[in-house]
């Protein structure tokens, strides 16, 4: 079975200490795990997708949240070691960069069709934020008919609700929890 690792919103704005909507140290601590998983997925001929918020300066999301991941800014760039990994692998045919305007990486992005064309059957999610974009991306993957997994060691949030939403993923979408 071919699988895809979706790395969600691991940008400077969500991860760096001075990011505008940062999960801070907890998000920084998951970076080595995510890089390790990305390497494993490529070694096993699976797919790695970097799904990244891509907002315009006047985005309606900014009525709810501070401005973040504005296209072309340093805040929208991949954080640290993940950016280094991406720069080394961005030309690999199994690595995709996917801008998204919604919490759910499957909404209006064509991701489901791209993954089906690559014969992907299962989607693994890691990144931030567990209770927002990770949760809604799992919901989107499930709605598109993919099996799902969440990497608990590779997910973080700025709220205290990460574990609760991981449990919701399991109960609502039969998501496999990878410790």
In the chain, how many domains are there? 1
Q: Residue 29: which of 127, 134, 139, 132 has the closest Cα?
A: 127
Tens-place pLDDT, residues 97-134: 999 999 999 999 999 999 999 999 999 999 999 999 99
d(CA 1, CA 60): 39
CATH number at residue 146: 3.40.50.850
Mean pLDDT, 10 residues at a time, over the chain (179 residues)?
Answer: 97 97 96 98 98 95 94 96 97 97 96 98 98 97 98 95 96 97
Domain enclosing residue 143, as ranges: 2-178
In this prediction the pTM is 0.96
pLDDT digits (tens, 9 = 90+) for 133-143: 999 999 999 99
């Amino acid at each position: 079975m071919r699988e895809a690792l979706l790395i969600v919103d691991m940008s400077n704005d969500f991860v760096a200490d001075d990011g505008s909507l940062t999960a801070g140290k907890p998000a920084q601590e998951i970076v080595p795990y995510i890089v390790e998983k990305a390497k494993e997925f490529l070694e096993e001929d699976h797919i790695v997708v970097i799904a990244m918020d891509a907002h315009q300066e006047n985005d309606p999301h900014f009525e709810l949240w501070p401005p973040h991941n504005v296209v072309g800014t340093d805040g929208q760039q991949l954080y640290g070691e993940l950016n280094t990994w991406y720069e080394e692998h961005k030309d690999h045919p199994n690595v995709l960069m996917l801008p998204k305007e919604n919490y759910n990486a499957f909404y209006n992005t064509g991701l489901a069709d791209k993954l089906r064309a690559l014969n992907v059957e299962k989607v693994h999610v890691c990144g931030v934020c567990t209770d927002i974009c990770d949760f809604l991306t799992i919901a989107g993957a499930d709605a598109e008919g993919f099996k799902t997994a969440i990497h608990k060691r590779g997910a973080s949030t700025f709220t205290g609700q990460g574990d609760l939403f991981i449990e919701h993923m399991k109960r609502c979408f039969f998501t496999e929890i990878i410790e």
